[in-house]
Structure 1
Amino acid sequence: MSSSKFIDSWRQIKLKGQQALGLIIKYCSPATLTAIICGVMGIYLLLIAPIHGYADNGDFNRVLNGNNLYALKGSNSQYVVTQYGIKQYYNDLGSGVWKTQSFFIQLAILINKMFFSTHIFDIRFLGLVYLIAYIASIYMFTKSLVPGRRSMGAYVFAILVGIVAGDSAFLMYFNSFYPQATTLIFLVLAVALLIYIPQLHGRKLFAAVIGYFIAVFLLIMGDYSVAPLGVVFAIASAGLFFLPRIRYQRWYLGAGVAMILITSGISTTMLTPEEQMVNKFQSFTKGVLANNDDPISSLSNASLNKQFILMKDQDYFPTDYTALKPDSKYVQHNLIDKYNTFWLVDYYGNHLKQLGTSLNDVAKNMMVVQVSALGNYTKGHGRALQQFSFFTLYSQLSSTFYPKKYAFNVMIGLTLGIIYLVGMYNNFKSRKEIAGIMKFFLIVGLMIGTMILPLTTLLTFGETNLSQHMLPVSFSLDLVYLILIADVIRKKLWKGTSQ
């Protein structure tokens, strides 16, 4: 091909690219582009055979019983199970504890009965309900950060949000009965609304504030493991007090913050006696005994029998033979009844070196979103425990290259706090904008959450199922970094303004 023909071909390609870009800019906003990316990936992953999700690690049975479902004969927990039975009789095993995921499951069952079957539940209906709510939240997040802008930078940012939020490691939770699905949806929605609120006025502003508190309530009620997020959003909510004054504003907002903290406390009680036993046992065997250089002295000082050292790294439901059953009365009386959360806090306070090592172990799993111990394929389309890898570039890169030290997030938190403090000061001085003030409290709250959750996870669960328990941390960090990138692209990092 001659150079002139090559140049002509290149010009034609460039012209068509510009025309396509012009059509996108004309008919598709950045927020819509993000929604399309997440929607296309979600539909392909969750709804089109072979469908993907996360297999059961033993937690599904309680959720199924609480929502009038049951596993069909022949189901294999090593694979993603697509269909469950719908109970046609009185369910005496129903849970009296309401969780956010129950609303989504019941809505999915209702749609399933309308369009598919009254006896068999297809999990794709649950995936669809989750996906719609998630796309709406991501749309709001993108819109709040690039309001009304159709610049090249805004579209680059929209694509970046789509790559992060549409990662398969996140979306596969929607085809499962794990509560992490609701965590993803309402964490991003609560953050989006806080960023969007300064751009609103009048009734829209009031509605957004109410929507924010509802989103936080539903987030915390999703699972007791995310109860510490109540503290995170209580801090983030402080920015709301700088909104233009309305009558009784402080009373309304104070009541909202109090509701967050009360809900956080209630969420920690949403446990069955068996769940409490499991958590206490594993916080000892996979927490106190983990990274312990001198367990004999540790147990002797704590007035615990040294024989329990042999239970190091043991699960409450061991797969192999064990000489002493974790659920025996002997273990209950001589181990589990001997310690509580205050005992654990005191123990780690006197063993700071071990605490630091354990927190670094947790940090190593902080950005590991895809759970390696769970299969992602149905029985007819893959091997047991086989992992899905398409559209997981972001999660793979973050799990590989993100620093694996607990102190790193502490330093990042301090750095971002100082950066956004400048925007807060500029807004406070001008008294015309409050976006920078609200964003400062939001960033500080989220970064404090990344420091609190690893500690509470260690105290509550030990080093167990860290990929799942650290999901709020990894997703919070993703949102923080996306907010930072949006502010850099829009050149608003130090100004803190909303437009």
Structure 2
Amino acid sequence: MYLFIECITWKTPAKYAYPIALIAIFIFGDTAYTAFFSSFFSESIVLIMMMFMFASGLLLYRNRYNDYFLLAVFVFSGLLLTTSKQQNAPVGTIIAVTGIILIFIRKEKIFRILMASSLVSLLLAGLGTYFLIPKEFVNINKYHAMTRGVMMEAPDPEIALRNFGINRQFAVLDRSIYYDPYTTVDVDSEILEKHFYSQSGFGSILGYYITHPGQAGKMLDMAAKNAFTIRPPAMGNYEKSAGKSFGAQTKFFSGYSMIKQALAPKTFGFVVIWICLVVGLYMPSFISAIKTRHKRHVLRLPLIVTMILIGLSGVMVSIIGAGDADLSKHEFLFTAAFDMVTFAALSDAIRRRLWRNEQGQEPILYPGEETRWRLACSQKK
């Protein structure tokens, strides 16, 4: 939390810095977030690593602290974020691709080699996390992806199964859950293994939704209904000795999570509008940084986009990989990314840096570029 607030309030007047810090505590100190630290869920690690990664990236942008130290924090947190959950496998690929711009913030060969090799390690970590998922979990996810996703929203489940080359008789599994005590077919049977699980996969399900946009839209709206819930309903706050009912949740310091869940529009269209608004607000400073050849100031928008893509990956992987099964917990990546990006945008608006880059930081220029940069700055004035 310290680094996250530091990356935004550094060199900011106290009249702006203190309100920003209070807003950060109100959002990220909410009981809905802190409750994960008293559970066995991995979301606590996800939250910490997302903060470290985003904060270290913004500190690189603001040229605060040693670049090599921040590089180590960025890569280490990215690796832990990617490998903390099977669902986070795409995160490594996203960071590796969008992080290419980090290679060019310094001209030293050693820094560029370290940055490039770090991005490759993140890419490999993502691929490794995906390919090393145990078969049991793969089958569970495939089962829910079909029964709680493809078949559930299809006008005719039998026709939907035909797209995958699956016998229409398996339509009886529609809306069922892998953990149901009594099922039509044994979920671990060889019949399902040979004729059901083997016929579907992430790629084929993604292709199905692409060719059936109406059904995909319904699933995205369903995901949006749970995308703004921070704390899953099944996770309580009390020990057994407290005498509370199972799963009872406290409302103490839960103002933000309650407001967010009650007021946030529950459609994917709102998510699209939010993305366009955030990117649009940061675009002028991004264009200005490109025109003035300030490589470090170019970082801010790509970092914001990286966080947005990480959040969206949580939504897409959830509905494609497991249907609507336990959506509120599976979409934690999105709800955390939404809060961090929104907080960053709000903070930049408060300190009047939303459309402008940081002052007092001259770009690191290559030989022969200084004259062009000075000329661009004089024309801007």
Normalised by the length of structure 1, the TM-score is 0.68
Q: Is the 8 A contact 2:345 2:354 kept in 1?
A: yes
d(CA) in 2 for partners of 1:236 and 1:193? Answer: 15
**Residue 324 (structure 2) pairs with residue 463 (structure 1):** yes
Cα displacement string for residues 144-166 of structure 1 (whole angstroms, at most 9, x for unaligned residues): 10004352221111011001111
Written as runs of structure 1 = structure 2, the 5 A alignment for 1:206-245 is 206-245=68-107
- Identical residues among aligned pairs (%): 23
Match of residue 263 from structure 1: 125
Alpha carbons 2:27, 2:256 under 8 Å: kept: yes
Equivalence for 1:287: 149
- The answer on 1:177 being equivalent to 2:40 is yes
Q: Is the 8 A contact 1:289 1:312 kept in 2?
A: yes
Q: Shift of the alpha carbon at 1:271?
A: 2.2
In structure 2, list runs of 5 or more residues that go unmatched.
361-381
Q: CA deviation at 1:498?
A: 6.2
- Which has the larger Rg? 1
1:273 to 86, 111, 135: 135
CA contact (8 A) 2:151 2:161 kept: no
3-state secondary structure, aligned to 2:152 = coil
Whether contact under 8 Å (1:230, 1:264) holds in the other structure is yes
1:238–1:438 Cα contact (<8 Å) kept: no
Instruction: Quote the Cα distance in structure 2 between the aligned partners of 1:426 and 1:372.
Output: 45
Aligned twin of 2:274: 412
Q: Matched residues in 2 for 1:344 and 1:236: separation? A: 26
State which of 200, 224, 241 in structure 2 corresponds to 1:380: 241
Map 1:309-324; keep pairs closer than 5 Å.
309-319=171-181, 321-324=182-185
Alignment correspondent of 1:205: 67
Deviation at 1:427, TM superposition (A): 2.2
What corresponds to 1:147 in structure 2?
Answer: 10
1:191 is the counterpart of 2:54: yes
Q: Which residue of 1 aligns with 2:26?
A: 163
Q: Is the 8 A contact 1:144 1:196 kept in 2?
A: yes
Cα pair 2:62 2:358 within 8 Å, conserved: no
Amino acid in the other structure paired with 1:372: P
Aligned counterparts of 2:29 and 2:235: Cα–Cα separation in 1:
19
Whole-Å Cα distance in 2 between the matches of residues 207 and 194 of structure 1? 11
Contact 1:235 1:441 in 2 (8 A): no
Deviation at 1:418, TM superposition (A): 2.6
**Equivalent of 1:395, from 257, 261, 270?**
257
Checking the alignment, whether the CA contact within 8 Å between 2:46 and 2:81 is kept in structure 1 is yes
- Alignment partner of 1:475 is 2:336: yes
Q: Is the 8 A contact 1:236 1:438 kept in 2?
A: no
Deviations 1:210-244 (A, max 9, x none): 22111111111111111222233234423423413
* Local SS of the residue matching 1:178: coil
Give the aligned CA root-mean-square deviation in angstroms: 1.9
Partners of 2:263 and 2:104 lie apart in 1 by 39
The 1-side partners of 2:266 and 2:281 are apart by 23
Shift of 1:248: 4.1
Q: Give the CA deviation at 1:252.
A: 2.5
> Cα offset for 1:200?
3.5
Aligned residues: 359
**What do the CA deviations read for 1:58-78 (whole angstroms, capped 9, x no partner)?**
xxxxxxxxxxxxxxxxxxxxx
Is the CA contact 1:365–1:467 (under 8 Å) kept in the aligned structure 2? yes
CA contact (8 A) 2:173 2:184 kept: no
**Residues 196 and 498 of structure 1: CA distance in aligned 2, closer, same or farther (over 3 Å):** farther
> For 1:349 and 1:452, how far apart are their aligned partners in 2?
16
For residues 54-203 of structure 1, the aligned pairs below 5 Å read 138-200=1-63
Please name the residue that 1:490 is paired with. 351
Q: Which amino acid aligns with 1:413?
A: I
Q: Which amino acid aligns with 1:482?
A: F
Match of 1:357 in 2: 218
Q: Report the CA distance shift for 1:301/1:234 in structure 2 as closer, same or farther (over 3 A).
A: closer
The letter for the 2-side match of 1:293 is P
Q: Is the 8 A contact 1:198 1:498 kept in 2?
A: no
Distance 1:304 1:139 in 2: 53
Contact persistence 1:279–1:461 (CA under 8 A): yes
What amino acid maps onto 1:186 in structure 2?
Answer: M
Q: Counterpart amino acid of 1:332?
A: E
Question: What corresponds to 2:372 in structure 1?
Answer: none
